[in-house]
Structure formats: C-alpha cells, structure tokens
Chain A
Amino acid sequence: MRAKPHLLTIAHRLAILAYIAFALFPLYWLLKVAVTPNDLLYSEGIRMWPSRASLEHFDFVLRHSAFPVFFKNSLIVSGSTAVIVTVLASLSGYALSRFNFRGKYWLVALMLLTQMFPLVMLVAPIFKILSPLGLTNSLTGLVIVYTAFNVPFATFLMQSFFDGIPKDLEEAAMIDGATQFVAFRQIILPLTLPGIAATLGFVFTAAWSELLFSLMLISGNDQATFPVGLLSFVSKFSVDFGQMMAAGVLALIPACLFFLLIQRYLVQGLTAGAVKG
C-alpha cells in the first residue's frame, strides 16, 4: 500500500522535470553555441558544453555589429508603445469599468473584432497609408501601428484591474467635492499600480516580439528593430552561428525580465484577449 503513492510522486516529479527540460533545452542550446569559440563549433558539434567557453561572440556583436542600434531601436519602439498604450488603455478601461453608456456595447464589439481578424490583412493597406506620410522606415510609424494593435487587449486588461477596486472609494471623494477625473487620477490610478505595471509588461513583450509589420515597414539598417536586424543578419551571414546566437541571447534578455514582472498576472493577461499568444 505504501509503495504506490510513492511511485506516483516519483512519476509526477519526473514528468515535471521532462517538461522543464523540454522548455529550457532550446534556450540552453542558444546560450551554449553563443559561448562556443568558432574553432570548437564544428569539431565538438553536439557536445553538451564546449571544452572551452568564451564571450568572444558577445564581444563582437556588441562592438563591431549594428546590433546595439537594433537593440536601442527596439527599446525605443517597445518602451514608447508600452507607455502610450497604458495611458490610453487606463482611460478607456476606466470608461468600460465605471460607466454605463449607450455606445459601450459597440465599443466592446469593435475591440473584440480587432482581436479576431487576421492582422496580416492590414500589412498592405497600412504600408500604403503610412508611406505618403513619411512614416514608413520610421520608428514613429511603428509605434503608432503597435499602439493601435495593443490598445484593445490592454483596455480589457485595465478594465479587469479597475473592476477589482470598490466604487465607494471615488464616490466618497466626489462627495467631498472632487471631480470624477481627479478621483480617478489621485485615488484609483495609484491603487491600480500593479495592474499598470503588468499592462506595461504585456504590451512591451508584444511589441518586442512583433515581426511582420516591422519587416514590411522598415527597410534600412538605421531604423531596424531587433527582429528585422537579426533576420537580415541571418540571411546575409548565415555561417556565423556563434554571433547570431549571441545576438539571440541579447534579444531574449528584455523579454525574460518582463516575463518575471508579469508572471503573477499571466492568467488575467491571457483571458483579457489573448495578447500575442
């Protein structure tokens, strides 16, 4: 009788370990090739760890390639998108959470619609619209596009955070003579700070990962974001595996940092409208 639960526990832990191994192995391999010196890359092929590790690829990528520029561009685009989306979504999320108005149904329907149709449909028309405005090959253009794409989901996310705060708080403030906007800014927003941080994290990660529109809208090296730069590097120098993977590790860093930030809110974020996945 005693042995059976014990075996089950062992099987359970082994299954968990198998999942962890499967989840981490690709990232581990990325790191492993990134620290393998070129002369060992082919001779030691599939060894689990090279006999000699070095940071030469990181050194090269950081000092002699355009990746720091790509990294900076991606930071600017994702950071600005995250901030602007969070401001807009706080306002619209507050409207959905606290008011009952005639257009509410249509507003929600419109936002749900934008989550359902294939965004790849918009690649051509958006290019055609932005091009005469000088917003192709420009980080501003990307920020505008990403902001619009992320506002609907961020609105639902912020709404869910506002819904968790009792209405009495701003009603009390309004009885004391504050306008609703002042109550919103001075009482409700500070209470929603964790939610705001989570929204920033989600939008940043989504913008950092976006590929198709940045490929379409950006052509030069100066304005390239990380995915565009990495893919053009891959197609041009497809033999420098060490450098490519070192660049890949760099692209992973912000994503992982923000993942830690939003980890507690994953469920809320995913149910708010299926961010990027």
Chain B
Amino acid sequence: MAHVARQSGLPASRTPLKKRIADGAAPYLYSAPALILIVTVMLVPLVLGVSYAFRDIQLLNPFSGAYIGLDHFRALAEDQAFYRALRNTLWWTGASVFFQFVFGLILALLLDKPFYGRGLAQALVFLPWAVPSFLAGLNWAWLFNPVVGPLPHWFYALGLMSEPNNILSNPQLAMWGPIIANVWWGIPFFAITLLAALQAIPRDLYEAASIDGAGPVQRFLSITLPFLAPTIAITILLRTVWISNFADLIIVMTNGGPADRTQIVASYIFTQAFKRLDFGYASAIALVLLALLLAYSMLIVILRQWLLSKD
C-alpha cells in the first residue's frame, strides 16, 4: 500500500514542482529586458568609467590607454579650475534650490484653495516645466541679450545697470543668468510636489483650528508646516543632488564662461570629455563628484537617523 501510494504520489508532485519553478521564474522573466538594458547601458559604463579615472585615455591619441595610477588625481589636486568649479557648484545649487523652493512653496499655497479658473492658471504656471532644457537655456540667453532681449534695457531703465549690457558676459554677474533660468524652469517641480502634499492635509483640521480661534498664521505654522515638512525635506534633498548635476542650462547659456565663472563640476566634466576629448581626466573628476555626492547622501541618512532617534 505504502509503495503504491508513493508511486502514485510521484507524478502528482512533479507537476507542481515544474509549475513552482515556472512561477518562481515569472517575475524575473518580466523584469529581465529592463534589467539587462540597465546593466549593459548604465552599470557597465559606470564601472568602465571608474577604471578610466586611473588610465590615460585621450580619444585623439591612439597611443593613450596606459594605466597611470593616481596621476589624474594629483593633477586634479592642483587644478585651480576644478576648485573654482566646486565653489561655483555650491553657489549654483544653493541659490537655485533656495529660490525654486521659496517661489514653489508660495505658488503651491496660492493654488491650494479652489478659485475660478484654477485649472487654467495651473496649466499655465506649470508650462515652463515642459519646455526642453536646451530651449529654456537659449530662450533666457536671448532675453539677456541686449540686441533682441528686453531685460538689459529694463535693468538699465530701472537704474540697476549703467548701460544695457549682457549679464552673461559680465564675470561678476554671469552666474545669475543660468540661476534665473533654472529658477524659472524649476518652480513648477516644487509647486507640483508641494501642492500634492498640501491637498493631502485633512481639511477638518483647519476647521477645528479656526473654531478654537487660531489665526491664519497660527494655522500655517502649526498645521501646514508640520504636515509639509517630510515632503519639503525629501524634495529639497533630492533636488540638491539633481541640480548639482544639471549642466544643460550652463552649457547652453555660457558654456562655463566668461573666464570659467559659471563652470560647475558637471559642466567641467562634460567640457573635458566633449571639447578636449580627455576621457581619463573627465572620469577622474566624475569619480570625485560621485564621492562627494555619496558623502552628501550618507550625511542625510545619518542626519535622518539622528532626528528619528531624538523623537
């Protein structure tokens, strides 16, 4: 009896095993095409790029390619242009994120309450986000150009400038050009994200608070801000990383000039690779940038842990 039972049990359990394998493989089959593409087009070049940082790779020099150890990093340590790019990156990122956030928050608060024509107003103010970044850059470069743009003439009329010049060719002011373009382009991002968070706040909280006699400022400080805080923190942290890597506007508007005054690290890497075709040196700078960004991310994680443990 036992023998028979085992025999008849065998084929019965084989099918579920086969099916189990097929079921187990299913999620991998669904995600395989995406995974293979990401690994071959992003991960492999990333590893290769790290190896370039220790090799002499110049596109136009067929004899290059040798392993040179830390030479690129030694050169980098004495590269004044790199240090200037680091300082510019801080300035560019800090100012862009600050103004995008402040104006984005105000816009989100303005759009939070329903009013006649809100849908249309929302579509219009969010439109800059859809403008391709190269076009946003060119568009603002033209606005700053005294030949076709109105801005220098307005600044002159307001007494901000002694004559209608292009601020993009003024070393002291040039960085403001890409920053203004970036603020224009990035306000919608902050506004959209913060508006979504605002509308998730339960409405009855506000009603209860006003019944208890809380004024608008008090309601904002004790209801709105605490509810928005996590979204604000995450959005600012992610945007900081993203904007510090965002070189499109600078490359289009000033190409790092005049006299490297608008060169940020990301545009410096691109210039080394694209103009000088020095892939080795470009990869070395990229590796340093990656290390800095990792350090920044670690700092955030530690900060978050510390804040959580304090509560």
Cα A25 to Cα B273 with chains together (Å): 35
Interface assignment of B121: CB less than 8 Å from any CB of chain A? yes
B138–A234 touching, CB < 8 Å? yes
Pick the residue among B34, B52, B110, B121 that contacts A88 (CB under 8 A).
B34
Tell whether, in the assembled complex, residue A271 and residue B193 are in contact, meaning their CB atoms are under 8 Å apart: yes
Give which listed residue, A124, A126, A230, A256, contacts B127 with CB less than 8 A: A256
Which of B28, B38, B135, B148 contacts A251, CB < 8 Å?
B135
Chain B contact surface mostly: helix
CA distance A123 to B130 in the complex (A): 24
Evaluate whether A124 and B279 lie within 8 angstroms (CB atoms) in the complex, with A30-B142, A95-B30 already known.
Answer: yes
Residues of A within 8 A of B46 (CB): 117, 121-122, 125
Residues in chain A near residue B251, CB distance under 8 A: 211-212, 215
With an 8 A cutoff between CB atoms, is A167 at the interface?
Answer: no
Please state if A120 and B266 are interface contacts (CB–CB under 8 Å).
yes
Is B252 located at the chain interface by the 8 A CB criterion? Answer: yes
Cβ-based interface call for B140 (8 A): yes
A16 to B154, CA, bound (A): 22
Q: How many residues of A contact B (CB 8 A)?
A: 88
Q: Does A26 contact B (CB under 8 A)?
A: yes
Does A91 have its Cβ within 8 Å of any Cβ on chain B?
yes
Q: Would A148 and B41 count as touching, CB distance under 8 A? A: yes
Question: Is A101 in contact with B270, judged by CB distance below 8 angstroms?
Answer: no
Binds A, one of B10-18, B78-86, B286-294, B301-309: B286-294
Q: Are A209 and B293 in contact (CB under 8 A)?
A: no
Contacts of A147 in B (CB 8 A): 37, 41
- From A60-68, A102-110, A191-199, give the one contacting chain B: A102-110
Interchain CB contact under 8 A, A231 and B147: no
Question: How distant is the Cα of A271 from the Cα of B195 in the complex, in angstroms?
Answer: 12
Q: How far is the CA of A51 from the CA of B127 in the complex (A)?
A: 28
From B37, B123, B184, contact of A26 by CB (8 A): B184
Binds A, one of B1-9, B220-228, B240-248: B240-248
A80 sits at the interface (CB 8 A): no
Within 8 A of B (CB), among A85-127: 88-89, 91-92, 94-96, 98-99, 101, 103-104, 107, 110-111, 114, 116-127
20 further contact pairs, Cβ within 8 A, besides A92-B34, A125-B283: A16-B110, A26-B184, A27-B139, A99-B27, A101-B27, A103-B27, A118-B289, A120-B269, A121-B283, A121-B289, A122-B42, A124-B279, A128-B57, A148-B37, A155-B34, A209-B135, A255-B130, A274-B189, A274-B239, A277-B186
Binding site for A on B (CB under 8 A): 24, 26-28, 30-31, 33-35, 37-38, 40-46, 48-49, 52, 57, 59, 106-107, 110-111, 115, 121, 123-136, 138-140, 142-143, 147-150, 153-154, 184-189, 192-193, 195-196, 238-239, 241-242, 245-248, 251-252, 266, 269-270, 273-274, 279, 282-283, 286-287, 289-290, 293, 297
